[in-house]
Structure 1
Amino acid sequence: MSRFRAPAAGAATLALALAASACGGGTSTGGAGSNDSPKTLTYWASNQGPNLAADKKILGPELDKFEKQTGIKVKLEVIPWSELLTRILTATTSGQGPDVLNIGNTWSASLQAGGALLPWDEKNFAKIGGKDRFVESALGSAGAPDKDPAAVPLYSMAYALYYNKKMFAEAGIDGPPATWDELVADGKKLSKDGNWALGAEGANLANNIHQIFVLGKQHGADFFTADGKPDFTSDGAVTAVQQYVDLMAKDKVIAPGNAEYAQNQSLSDFAKDKTAMVLWQAAATTFKSQGMSDKEWGVAPVPVASGAPGQGKATNSMVAGINMAVFKNTKNIDGSLKFVKFMTSDAEQKILCAAYGSVPPVKAAQQDPAFDRPELKVLRDTLAKSAAPLPQVPDESQFETAVGTAVKNLFANAAAGREVTTASVKAELAKAQQQMSQQ
């Protein structure tokens, strides 16, 4: 997913809601089940821009364009990431949801398991131009591998290492690190005079998962077995979590205060020359909104052990992005499909992805020269060569909550000066796995 804020729903609430969502239905005012007008649609958009007002400004003209083309008016609500998952889960149990909505792509399999979303079978894909229009890696994060996708890719993103050129030059560092060893070595030169080398969002559960999933892949861990059971205490998983938290606890390249960050504060520190590096998804528009010019920062692939990104143990990003879904119980299925077709059309993909600084998941749109700038080239190459989807299992959202909280707790210990050991990491992960088994 993108623009991550920690979901408000706890693991127990999430499990209950997903189980109940299979019931679907509902006809309450304002919900998907009540919208029987062919001339209106309700749309929940995720917050992709610097703020909600920016999203409305970007999306408004495009929705007006859709209305002129089809006669269908779209009622837009932009929802913050801190509220989105909870709102979706409430909608799936009550029927009081939109016709069309955005979901973080990491939630696709979890929400699919509840049965509330329209399956994108061959017939439905044909109505929006066919499945083969979309990049394969983006479709890989649209639902369980053995089922029809639960959503359609809308915006694609990947993680990259953003670095402050001025701070690097002042520290005598020629370019960005390619390996973790180089990052730590550079970090010790950069962490001085009240400034720090690397920003983190230690209290952001989703961000924690994204980072340790990538490090887990680099250490040969997947966090789930082949049959979808939690596997949080393997040697690779423990090593990955300890390596990430040690950037604060042992290496001292992340500020202790970052243990409390959960709302993009690390980006603000970066833009204010307080932090020299940050691991982020498609950050250009956010930097610009905070007064940072494109010339002040550079971008490189996320480090790997060897310095050469690729598949397997050289994976350096999860397949990030936003998917577009339709509630199965909408009474305006034709209008909903028309809207998805419009939003994923070549023309709209160029407009929207350019505005948000993301990569189009539609193949034809990706070829536009607008997406050849250096930052997006790094993101495109990462998605094509060295990114992997988070586990597409029904328990993925619970995984974000349970393991994300374990990492948050370990960061809190590091910030307080308490020792973070292999044993303490394994104990936190064992607790998270036990929580999962109780759902």
Structure 2
Amino acid sequence: MRSIRAAAVGAVTMSLALAASACGGGSSTNGGSDDSPKTLTYWASNQGASIEVDKKVLQPELDKFQKQTGIKVNLEVVPWSDLLNRILTATTSGQGPDVLNIGNTWSASLQATGALVPWDAKNFDKIGGKSRFVDSALGSTGVQGKDPAAVPLYSMAYALYYNKQIFADAGVSQPPATWDELVADGKKIQQKGKQVLGAEGSNVSENIHHVFVFGKQHGADFFTPDGKADFTNDGVVAAVKQYVDLMAKDKVIPVGNAEYAQNQSVSDFAKGKTAMLLWQSAAANLKSQGMSEDQYGIAPVPVQSGTPGTGAQVDSMVAGINLAVFKNTHNMDGAMKFVKFMTSDDEQKILNKEYSSIPPVGAAQSDPAFTAPANAVLKDTLAKSAAALPQVADESQFETTVGTAVKELFADAAAGRAVTTDSVKAKLQKAQQQMPTK
């Protein structure tokens, strides 16, 4: 049985206590608990428009792996609302899958539990070497200076998707490059009876991604250099307020979106209800919901002024999915073979095309599919204007506590309660008090 540092146990307990949904534990048996070298259990994250879409994408590839190796992979696609809780429960109970997808932002937190196989040089050699992966993706695989806790699987970046017809009807000739321009364009769009910008106010992960970017644009960090939570500094408060004010003050996010959860804002955009959407690599999701590529444009996420770049011009987190192996798998050899298969050049091309994401494997990026205009925006963002979320042990708790604070602030805005600098700071202070003490 693996050892788990006491501090990490406290962090996991805190995160479980704060998580929004009590989704129960991991699978009742480990994927290799029968000691069979011919089976694996794989938890995949919900990347497509639905769990059924993911099964249709993944099952043919798993069948291909079984044909090549004789190893059957038992697939479970886990909703994002449940995934972190499921993983954390598995790290403490020892009952989980052999291989699993993790949000790359959780890498450092899950690394701290000691539950995942570290990707040292020897393990990287088993899948073709660390140099196959691009640097931006490797930057979100765990604490700098330590062996990664997982390997990159899909790379994504946020972009601004806009409905060409709605823009034309409102006389808006180009996508907004700054937030002031977005608000101004929004007034023109509203005059034509359309909603402006979709958001998911009850989606904790989405909240974190956006306020992190606003934080960078305000020159602020949520943690001190030594890893202590610092949620109430002026820059963070201003960043969170500016994001929530898109609903509370600027009125460009509909109040009903305060209750929106996973994929609801994408659905509205696909149906032509909203003019704009901030989303990670959305093309495949939109296509599955009936929206053709010629109906929308894609542009960088707005910044405060000028064009996206480094420093305060950051306009996306380094989004993506990593692939991890549990230390207590009973089929380590099979798990390594599966990771090698999923990160092979051919599979990287297939899977990232299906999900409209960017391969974190450099050789796979040469495929023409990843040089199309839409993907060019995403690749440029990842290369020039994206930043990794804090790679600290308490990162998952940060997502839960601050993401919930933003959710509550959106609820205040939707209910007509004032969202002020003081009220934002009070929510963030409450979030900080819920973080593990050092």
Verify same fold: TM over 0.5.
yes
Aligned position for 2:179: 180
Which has the higher mean CA deviation after the structures are superposed, 259-268 or 376-385? 259-268
The 5 A counterparts of 1:267-282 are 267-282=266-281
Aligned position for 2:194: 195
Aligned position for 2:41: 42
Q: For residues 221 and 357 of structure 1, do their structure 2 counterparts lie closer, same or farther at Cα, with a shift above 3 Å needed?
A: same
Which has the higher mean CA deviation after the structures are superposed, 425-434 or 211-220? 425-434
Aligned position for 1:428: 427
TM-score, normalised to structure 2, is: 0.93
Q: What secondary structure does 2:58 align onto?
A: helix
Structure 2: state its 5+ residue gaps: 1-9, 19-26
The Cα of 1:146 is off from its aligned counterpart by 2.4
Structure 1: state its 5+ residue gaps: 1-9, 19-27
The Cα of 1:32 is off from its aligned counterpart by 4.6
CA deviation digits over 1:277-336, x for unaligned, max 9? 010001111111211111110000001122311111000000001100000111211111
The Cα of 1:186 is off from its aligned counterpart by 0.6
Which has the higher mean CA deviation after the structures are superposed, 165-174 or 46-55? 46-55
The 5 A counterparts of 1:237-316 are 237-316=236-315
Matched, 1:226 2:217: no
**Counterpart contact for 1:259–1:411, Cα < 8 Å:** yes
CA deviation digits over 1:139-197, x for unaligned, max 9? 11111112110000000000000000010000001010011111111111112455211
Aligned position for 1:368: 367
Aligned position for 1:89: 88
**Counterpart contact for 1:216–1:222, Cα < 8 Å:** yes
The Cα of 1:421 is off from its aligned counterpart by 1.2
Matched, 1:412 2:411: yes
The Cα of 1:11 is off from its aligned counterpart by 8.0
CA deviation digits over 1:396-426, x for unaligned, max 9? 1111111111111111111111211111111
The Cα of 1:42 is off from its aligned counterpart by 1.2
What letter matches 1:186 in structure 2? Answer: D
- Cα distance in 1 for partners of 2:249, 2:77 equals 40
- Cα distance in 2 for partners of 1:231, 1:85 equals 23
**Counterpart contact for 2:28–2:96, Cα < 8 Å:** no
Q: What secondary structure does 1:229 align onto?
A: coil
CA deviation digits over 1:110-157, x for unaligned, max 9? 111000000000100011000010011101111111211000000000
**Counterpart contact for 2:14–2:435, Cα < 8 Å:** no
The 5 A counterparts of 1:307-326 are 307-326=306-325
Aligned position for 2:163: 164
The Cα of 1:437 is off from its aligned counterpart by 4.6
**Counterpart contact for 1:196–1:274, Cα < 8 Å:** yes
Q: What secondary structure does 1:161 align onto?
A: strand
Q: Which runs of 4+ in 1 moved over 6 A?
A: none
The Cα of 1:200 is off from its aligned counterpart by 0.8
- Cα distance in 1 for partners of 2:106, 2:57 equals 25
Q: What secondary structure does 1:277 align onto?
A: strand
Q: What secondary structure does 2:175 align onto?
A: coil
CA deviation digits over 1:37-90, x for unaligned, max 9? 111111111111111122111111111111121121111111111221111112
Q: What secondary structure does 2:277 align onto?
A: strand
**Counterpart contact for 1:11–1:402, Cα < 8 Å:** no
TM-score, normalised to structure 1, is: 0.93
Q: For residues 14 and 155 of structure 1, do their structure 2 counterparts lie closer, same or farther at Cα, with a shift above 3 Å needed?
A: farther
**What's the C-alpha RMSD, in Å, of the aligned pairs?**
1.8
- Cα distance in 1 for partners of 2:264, 2:375 equals 23
What letter matches 1:342 in structure 2? Answer: F
**Counterpart contact for 1:104–1:322, Cα < 8 Å:** yes
Aligned position for 1:6: none
Aligned position for 1:139: 138
The Cα of 1:364 is off from its aligned counterpart by 0.2
**Counterpart contact for 1:35–1:41, Cα < 8 Å:** no
Question: Would you say how many aligned residue pairs link Structure 1 and Structure 2?
Answer: 421
- Cα distance in 2 for partners of 1:411, 1:149 equals 35
- Cα distance in 2 for partners of 1:11, 1:337 equals 28
The Cα of 1:29 is off from its aligned counterpart by 6.3
What letter matches 2:48 in structure 1? Answer: G
CA deviation digits over 1:265-285, x for unaligned, max 9? 111111122110010001111
What letter matches 2:352 in structure 1? Answer: C
Which has the higher mean CA deviation after the structures are superposed, 323-332 or 69-78? 69-78
CA deviation digits over 1:209-243, x for unaligned, max 9? 00000010011111001111001111110110111
Q: What secondary structure does 2:101 align onto?
A: strand
- Cα distance in 2 for partners of 1:15, 1:79 equals 18
**Counterpart contact for 1:35–1:332, Cα < 8 Å:** no
The Cα of 1:343 is off from its aligned counterpart by 0.4
**Counterpart contact for 2:157–2:281, Cα < 8 Å:** yes
What letter matches 2:371 in structure 1? Answer: D
CA deviation digits over 1:351-370, x for unaligned, max 9? 01001111000000011111
What letter matches 2:355 in structure 1? Answer: Y
Aligned position for 1:379: 378
The Cα of 1:36 is off from its aligned counterpart by 1.8
Q: For residues 256 and 16 of structure 1, do their structure 2 counterparts lie closer, same or farther at Cα, with a shift above 3 Å needed?
A: closer
Q: What secondary structure does 1:191 align onto?
A: helix
The Cα of 1:33 is off from its aligned counterpart by 6.3
Q: For residues 278 and 322 of structure 1, do their structure 2 counterparts lie closer, same or farther at Cα, with a shift above 3 Å needed?
A: same
**Counterpart contact for 2:170–2:192, Cα < 8 Å:** no
Q: For residues 35 and 194 of structure 1, do their structure 2 counterparts lie closer, same or farther at Cα, with a shift above 3 Å needed?
A: farther
Which has the higher mean CA deviation after the structures are superposed, 64-73 or 229-238? 64-73
